Amino acid sequence: MLKFLCAITGVLLAAALTIDTAEAKSPEVAPIEGVPTLMTGTYDVAKLGYTTNEYFVSGVANSYSAPQPLASDGRWTARVSGTAPYRTRIVVMRPTSGMTVDRVALDWWLLFTAVKACVIWTTAASGFASGKNREMTMALSGIRANHFHRDLILKIMRAKGAMG
């Protein structure tokens, strides 16, 4: 039987959360022998070309607090306010082929996803503007999220030295 200790930390989720991660440390990872039992479906993933492995992950987790009152616009700042030891387990399913990822090439995918997001937000804005959909979230995502991703595209392009 697996025993694990998990330290629950405060988690803040927001559209634009700024987190001070200066004290974050990589966890220790230890493989676990045997085959994990998971409710992942009725099919055998090995037949689909995937290998399943289980690991203990342990370390020191940060908890966070907000130094200022949380504003309604979701633009919050979180600061490390405490730590606690944790130990949990994860199951990793990966292609048996052992194919490695070209991380540099994959990094460009970030740019593509930002462009793709802009298409979604532009469509949302267009839907609201035409009167076909008057949901406030459509209008706001057309304005806020669209700007966020256009700005992100420019930042990625600059970071990659791809601006001429």
Partner 1 sequence: MTSKSLSIDNALHGLDEFLRDKIAPAIADPYVAPMARLSGLLLRICANSVDDATELRVDENAAIREVLGQAAALVSEPLAAQLQGAAASADPGLKISVLDEENQRLRILLVTAQCELEKDTSAAAKARDRTIWRLLESIEAKRAPRERP
Binding-site ranges for partner 1 (CB under 8 A):
72-73, 75, 135-137, 139-140, 143-144, 147, 150-151, 154, 157-158, 163-164
Side chain identity at residue 120, one-letter code: I
CB distance 152 to 114 below 8 Å: yes
Q: What is the DSSP letter of 61?
A: E
Helix (H/G/I), strand (E/B), else coil: 139: helix
Cβ nearer to partner 1, comparing 25 with 116: 116
Question: What's the min distance (Å) between Cβ of 114 and partner 1?
Answer: 13
Cβ nearer to partner 1, comparing 25 with 147: 147
Question: What's the min distance (Å) between Cβ of 150 and partner 1?
Answer: 5
Question: What's the min distance (Å) between Cβ of 107 and partner 1?
Answer: 19
CB distance 44 to 23 below 8 Å: no
Helix H or strand E encompassing 106: helix 103-130
Cβ nearer to partner 1, comparing 78 with 118: 118
